Amino acid sequence: MKTSNNTFKLGQVRKTHFDDRWVKFAFGPQGFKNTENLNLGVVEFGNSITSLNHCHEVEEALFVLSGNGKIKIGNDIYDVEKNDFAYIPAKTDHQIITGQKSIKILFIFGGEILIEH
């Protein structure tokens, strides 16, 4: 297989631990591939977790890779499971809520954002 600095495997991406989750930043200012206007990675929340309520200045798209839980977007709460997409408008509070199972999510958003908590 031909490799370059533009291709890499998930296993090469460092896992960053936060209080409520771990994240593998593939692209972005914290990413394996340092990019300015693209953030993409994988995040996993363990079971029985309610994440910090937060928002970004930019839109965000999520794709549930495994597990299930709830996503609170603004004042609405949605059930999500494997193969579901979710859209979070810019400047909208959101959080992840898990039950008996963990949930693993692919996330993508634009802009230069540092995730610090």
**65 assigned to some structural domain:** yes
> What is the distance between the alpha carbons of residues 107 and 48, in angstroms, rounded to a whole number?
21
Predicted local confidence at residue 81, as pLDDT: 96
**116 assigned to some structural domain:** no
**3 assigned to some structural domain:** no
> What is the distance between the alpha carbons of residues 48 and 102, in angstroms, rounded to a whole number?
8
> What is the distance between the alpha carbons of residues 95 and 38, in angstroms, rounded to a whole number?
21
CATH number at residue 61: 2.60.120.10
Looking at the structure of the chain, the number of domains it has is: 1
**113 assigned to some structural domain:** no
CA 20 to the chain's CA centroid: 12
Per residue in 82-109, pLDDT (tens digit) is 999 999 999 999 999 999 999 999 999 9
**83 assigned to some structural domain:** yes
**2 assigned to some structural domain:** no
DSSP code at position 53: P
pLDDT value at 114 more than 80: no
Range of the domain at 21: 14-105
pTM, two decimals, is 0.88
pLDDT value at 3 more than 70: no
**34 assigned to some structural domain:** yes
- Provide the token pair at 17: 């631990």
**32 assigned to some structural domain:** yes
With cut-offs at 50, 70 and 90, classify the pLDDT of residue 115: low
